[in-house]
Amino acid sequence: MSLTRRDFAAKSAITGAGVALAGTVGALATAPNALAATDVESEGAEIAGAHHGVGYGPLIPDPEGLLALPAGFKYRVITYSGKTKLESGEFTPSNHDGTATFCGPRGATLLVNNHELKGPRANWPHPVPLTEGLVYDPAASGGCTVVEVRHGHVAEWVGIAGTSTNCAGGSTPWGTWLTGEETEDKAGQNGMTKDHGYIFEVDPEDRRANRDPKPVKAFGRYAHEAVVIDPKRGHAYLTEDASGPNGLLFRWTPPAGFHHGRGKLRTLADNAGVLQAFKCFDSGGKFVDDLSRATKIGTVYGVDWVDVPDRDAKTVSVRKQFTDGQVTRARKLEGMWWGEGPARREPRPVQGRRLRRPRQHHRLPLRRTRHRRGRRGRPAPVRRHGERPHLPDRPQRTEPGHRRGARVQRVHRRHLLTRRKDAVRQHPDDHAGDHGAVEAPEARLNLIRSPGPRHAS
């Protein structure tokens, strides 16, 4: 089904909540001034052979029937289910879904693809191959593939296999992909041999890190959609796409002392941290039972967080563990991303180290001390917060025989410079914000509700 700019604008105005489009078509349709040209102008320009108005011009029918683009644009098929092959020789799996790109080594681009395949493997002609060491449940047909594009050369391999209904997910600040299972099948249901409905981490660069897949049970077991990580405090925000009753939006608070990084999530205990569902209130303090009450773009709700009783849903689905009035529900909680002020490049953390805020390159005010005996002040050695200065040519205070006195104080004044503190550190175990807002200048959570049922790719 083709979608003209006129149809896009009309549908956006009718829905009010916005229209979510995936892929290049969405990028073109939502670009600045892309909708400004009318179809009449576009058709006239096409006849004249040139486009002189605003926008990109009309969509030119694709002879292959895959993707119609304006004049001057082109596309390239990287992988094709049932046609292109993996490094291991099997065909590319079908039902591509959630995806993200990463910068690979030596100028390569890495693309991680979800394959939303539900149920037994026999139901699909091209399931994700069961690569040795990368399989969670040999009965499941879904998973992820990793595509590497370097100087025109394309290679594809399995990132994880034996998962089910891999719909959405999200990239992490440390350069991995979190894939979510949009299902609640347990062992013995629908042909499965293990419980499903979890988040799994896939490392696009290190294939060895993906061996022996382990679900992140701390994030809960439910019909997962998107997930984002707060790069400062380490919280994870997760959405659920379910009905009867509608799904929830969750927040996971990491345990004290936990630091994110490559491979760290798989070290978490099943009950690590705190998993909570949100409960919204309008500006008048009235409880909001469902996000469908928000009919205007830019609506902001206050949020409380309610603990999840049984995150692994051993007997009852997580969303059914709450009664009406305890939490706020929503239908089709699909895409989600982390937005915080102007776009900036995040530093890539080193494995095993704590995530840090980007360094603020402010000029530090320095002050020289008085000259004594012809010597000028000089900066003290760099030290961490809370450490005492140690001057190599002077004994420390803790050494035996050291005498406190004016001489020591003069040395300190001569060697130390005043330094301004630029930022306040926030730790992952900081639980401030239990009473916050869905949309705020420092922590904005953007939600996209799909206008209708999603079609399998």
Q: For every one of its 457 residues, what pLDDT tens digit does the chain have, with 9 covering 90 and above?
A: 344 444 433 443 333 332 232 333 444 444 444 444 444 444 444 444 455 567 899 999 999 999 999 999 999 999 999 999 999 999 999 999 999 999 999 999 999 999 999 999 999 999 999 999 999 999 999 999 999 999 989 999 999 999 999 999 999 999 999 999 999 999 999 999 999 999 999 999 999 999 999 999 999 999 999 999 999 999 999 999 999 999 999 999 999 999 999 999 999 999 999 999 999 999 999 999 999 999 998 899 999 999 999 999 999 999 999 998 999 999 888 888 887 643 333 334 444 444 444 333 333 333 333 444 444 555 544 444 544 444 444 444 444 444 444 343 443 444 433 333 333 333 444 443 443 333 333 333 444 444 444 443 3
Judge whether 322 and 275 are in contact, CB under 8 Å. Answer: no
| Whole-angstrom distance, CA of residue 390 vs CA of residue 412 | 10
| Whole-angstrom distance, CA of residue 232 vs CA of residue 428 | 7
Judge whether 328 and 247 are in contact, CB under 8 Å. Answer: no
Judge whether 171 and 102 are in contact, CB under 8 Å. Answer: yes
Burial of 388 per CB tally in 10 Å (0-12, 13-18, 19+): exposed
DSSP symbols for 13-52: HHHSS-----SHHHHHHTSTTTT-S-HHHHHHHHHHT---
The region that residue 90 occupies, defined by phi over 0 for left and psi between -120 and 50 for alpha, beta otherwise, is beta
Full-model pTM:
0.66
| Whole-angstrom distance, CA of residue 354 vs CA of residue 427 | 10
DSSP symbols for 158-211: EEEEEE--EEEEEE-TTS-EEEEEB----TTSTT-SS----EEEE-SS-GGGGS
